[in-house]
Chain A
Amino acid sequence: MSGRAIAGAFLGLSLGLQACSSLQASSSGSAPQKLVITGSSTVAPVASEIAKRYEAQNPQVRIDVQTGGSSRGIADIRQQVADIGMVSRAAKPEDQGLNFHTIAKDGVVVIVHRDNPIQRLTRQQITDIYTDKLNNWQDAGGKSQAITVVNKAEGRSTLEVFTKHFQLKSSQIKADVVIGDNEQGIKTVAGNPLAIGYVSVGAAKVNVEQGTPIKVLPLEGVQATPQTVQDGSFPLSRPLNLVTQGPLNPQQQKFIDFAQSSQVKDIVQEQSLVPVQE
């Protein structure tokens, strides 16, 4: 009885409010155009900042960025609940009918201390180090000292990229140190000559330039630079995409063009990502 009463009250209230809102919308003649973007929580902060700059240039447009994960971005686009989706991976075969528009790349590099004589590690060696099968630098061509494995905390997008590339489960990784963000990872490796870790390519580049004692290892023969990440030759990277379905309407087209233009390059770099913008 009371449950039904509550439900009824809710329904009444909400319907009333909804009526008010639709009235309000119709009475104000030039309602702002609204663009809804949903999806990946990795893309959301960048997209949100790009949207703010876009709004500043186009005051008649309002862009709402919502998160919930890449799969939500795809689902919302398929159901046409959102105008644009956000997906932090490359297109898969099951994504047919969807258009992917890359706005940035997220590269992950393996780093060691500058004083570590190691120049390169093979894919197998990195896998073995992270699963604790290989735990002395001597076995990888270095000094006879134990390896300190630095891993990212659960839920980090860099961890996802890393484990996916090396086909590891995060439960298989035996870490000595677990860190949160890139800066913490760089500090940990810079302060420990025996450590190995991985951080985002943008953060590593800035720190190498600043003279932080870290060394970026090449991966499968490819040096990690923003250029190799950008052109896709560096293997440990993923694209951050905006996703749409069907032909673009002018509003979508304009925003996607803006997000891929050089006007937002600094925003992408601020978030330790690699810009694809010229």
Chain B
Amino acid sequence: MVRRLAIPFGKEQGATLMVWLVALGITVLFLWLLSDVIWQGGQAINGAFLTQAPIKAGLEGGIAPILVSTGLVLGVCMGVSLPLGLGTALFLTEFSPQRSHQAIRLSLDILAGVPSIVFGLFGNAFFSKVLGLGFSILSGGLTLACMVLPILIRSIQVGLVNVPHEYRQAAAALGLSRLGTLKTLILPAALPGIAVGILLGIGRAIAETAALIFTSGYVDRMPTSLLDSGRVLSIHIFDLAMNIPGGEQNAYGTALVLVILLIVINTLVSWFAERFRQSKLQIL
């Protein structure tokens, strides 16, 4: 304490100022980006934009089938990756011997860094061709599931590791079964970590273009089953911005919908995770 006070006042202030400026810079950058999307896309969005099918390659009409396809792809992705990710993370932290961790952790980290187009080509070769799912929401969702699994597993793992070891010892001392301990104590306590994993996974999945162009595809018809090809929001934005003359306005509109969707999902997941944790663990 005495030492800190001994630092010349000006120097201390300078450092504080710099930290503040950096934080301010990041916030300004984000707000700039957000206001640009809102400014340019705000005019495009109205009730019809959200409920109509695209007309004239997206120059007119709306994005209703694209919203539905995005929801379905995301649903398949999270529906498959969440149980698998949770199971793998539980196995790694709670049940497996410590020695095997290094190798698994390393391979997960490498997988998490693989560019999404590689997953896209893999998905196209494996799900679309080998398994014969073709261009479909299902093969898109499964490809995304492969892509988000490593992120999901690593974040859930961190959440589980952060649960104090005393909890497990206390539960064991009380004679609780391993499964009981997991259900009533460890999982609720690890919920913030799990929520972060879900958020990162959804964030990566919903913004994905490269992995989906060869798997879920480009068709902008309203999907009638998971085996239909369906265009997601990010591909629609890319197509409007790059391939459709005069499509900029609706590209911004779609981007704004995507950003709003992401904010809503983030808020909901955080809120549910917090509520669930509190209802399970009043003591925390």
Does A182 count as interface, using CB distance less than 8 angstroms?
yes
Does B162 count as interface, using CB distance less than 8 angstroms?
no
Q: Contact at B131–A44, with CB atoms within 8 Å?
A: no
Does B86 count as interface, using CB distance less than 8 angstroms?
no
Does A146 count as interface, using CB distance less than 8 angstroms?
no
| Nearest-neighbor residue (CB-CB) of B58 within chain A | A45
- Using A41-B242, A67-B213, A183-B246 as known contacts, say yes or no to A14 and B57 having CB atoms under 8 A apart: no
B residues less than 8 Å from A156 (CB atoms)? 242
| Nearest-neighbor residue (CB-CB) of B104 within chain A | A2
A7 nearest CB across to chain B (Å): 10
| Nearest-neighbor residue (CB-CB) of B245 within chain A | A272
B60 nearest CB across to chain A (Å): 9
| Nearest-neighbor residue (CB-CB) of A13 within chain B | B80
Does B42 count as interface, using CB distance less than 8 angstroms?
no
How many chain B residues touch A (CB < 8 A): the figure is 41
Q: Identify which of A15-23, A130-138, A224-232 touches chain B.
A: A15-23
Q: Pick the contact of B56 from A41, A49, A203 — CB < 8 Å?
A: A49
Give the residue among A24, A81, A270 with the most B Cβ atoms within 10 A: A270
Does B227 count as interface, using CB distance less than 8 angstroms?
yes
A residues less than 8 Å from B200 (CB atoms)? none
- Give CA–CA (A180, B214) in the complex, Å: 25
- Give CA–CA (A267, B146) in the complex, Å: 39
B residues less than 8 Å from A24 (CB atoms)? 225
Does A181 count as interface, using CB distance less than 8 angstroms?
yes
B27 nearest CB across to chain A (Å): 27
B residues less than 8 Å from A46 (CB atoms)? 57
Q: Contact at B247–A181, with CB atoms within 8 Å?
A: yes
Q: Contact at B88–A180, with CB atoms within 8 Å?
A: no
B residues less than 8 Å from A13 (CB atoms)? 80
Does B218 count as interface, using CB distance less than 8 angstroms?
yes
- Using A64-B217, A64-B219 as known contacts, say yes or no to A271 and B127 having CB atoms under 8 A apart: no
Q: Contact at B244–A45, with CB atoms within 8 Å?
A: yes
A residues less than 8 Å from B245 (CB atoms)? 181-183, 200, 203, 271-272
A residues less than 8 Å from B246 (CB atoms)? 181-183, 272
Size class of the A contact interface (CB-based, 8 Å): 35 or more
Secondary structure at the A interface, as helix, strand, loop or mixed, is helix
Does B94 count as interface, using CB distance less than 8 angstroms?
no
A residues less than 8 Å from B241 (CB atoms)? 180
1/0 per residue, CB under 8 A from A, across B204-230: the answer is 000000000110011110000111010
- Give CA–CA (A271, B127) in the complex, Å: 33
Does B164 count as interface, using CB distance less than 8 angstroms?
no
Does A142 count as interface, using CB distance less than 8 angstroms?
no
Task: List residues of B (178-222) whose CB comes within 8 Å of A's CBs.
Answer: 213-214, 217-220
Give the residue among B213, B241, B243, B247 with the most A Cβ atoms within 10 A: B243
A220 nearest CB across to chain B (Å): 25
B151 nearest CB across to chain A (Å): 14
A residues less than 8 Å from B129 (CB atoms)? 81
B residues less than 8 Å from A15 (CB atoms)? 131
B6 nearest CB across to chain A (Å): 54
Q: Pick the contact of A64 from B135, B142, B242 — CB < 8 Å?
A: B135
Q: Contact at A271–B244, with CB atoms within 8 Å?
A: yes
Does B132 count as interface, using CB distance less than 8 angstroms?
yes
Q: Contact at B213–A68, with CB atoms within 8 Å?
A: yes
- Give CA–CA (A161, B217) in the complex, Å: 26
Task: List residues of A (258-272) whose CB comes within 8 Å of B's CBs.
Answer: 267, 270-272
Point out residues on A near B: beta carbons under 8 Å.
Answer: 1-3, 6, 9-10, 13-15, 17-18, 21, 24, 36, 41-42, 44-46, 48-49, 64-68, 81, 155-157, 180-184, 200, 203, 267, 270-272
A-B contact pairs, 6 of them (CB 8 A): A6-B149, A10-B80, A45-B58, A64-B219, A68-B213, A270-B57
User: Which 6 residue pairs spanning A and B have beta carbons closest together?
Assistant: A45-B57, A272-B245, A14-B131, A66-B217, A182-B245, A67-B218
